[in-house]
Amino acid sequence: MKSLPKTFQQFVKKYPAIWRAHDELAQACSEAGPLDRKTRELIKVGISVAARLETAAERHAIMAMENGATQEEIFQTVLMTMTTCGHPTAAAGFQWVSRALERYGKKSGKAAKNKG
């Protein structure tokens, strides 16, 4: 839980039963089909950017990297939001994901390439 944002940690602490139910639902959704973890995380990056959920986009970009996604795959996922959600949304997502991958690279020792 320590990897979760502080405000989310506070929510989990205050409402543990709701968190457990949410976690069980997320697990059931993950197990409901053939998609691997990397693909699921890439989808969540796209959904997060489309919904303009900055923290979620950053977190899922890192989780995608941790599950084998390349930076190029993550950035293409962000680009895919442009035709449905518009340039401003994709540009914001690009900024969020770039920042997250840069921090991830510094923490993990993996060089983060800036795409632009």
Q: Do residues 1 and 52 both lie within one domain?
A: no
d(CA 63, CA 57): 10
Does the residue 114 lie in any domain? no
Element of type H or E holding 110: none
Number of structural domains the chain divides into: 2
d(CA 17, CA 53): 24
Q: Do residues 17 and 63 both lie within one domain?
A: no
| pLDDT for position 2 | 57
| pLDDT for position 1 | 53
Task: Give the CATH number for residue 89.
Answer: 1.20.1290.10
How many Cβ atoms are within 10 Å of 91's Cβ, its own excluded? 15
Query: What's the maximum distance between 2 C-alpha atoms anywhere in the chain?
Result: 43
Does the residue 115 lie in any domain? no
Per-residue pLDDT of the chain (116 residues; tens, 9 = 90+): 557 778 889 999 999 999 999 999 999 999 999 999 999 999 999 999 999 999 999 999 999 999 999 999 999 999 999 999 999 999 999 999 999 999 998 887 765 554 44
Q: Do residues 48 and 7 both lie within one domain?
A: no
- Give the range of the structural domain holding residue 63, as residue numbers without chain letter: 35-108
Q: Do residues 58 and 73 both lie within one domain?
A: yes
Does the residue 113 lie in any domain? no
| pLDDT for position 45 | 99
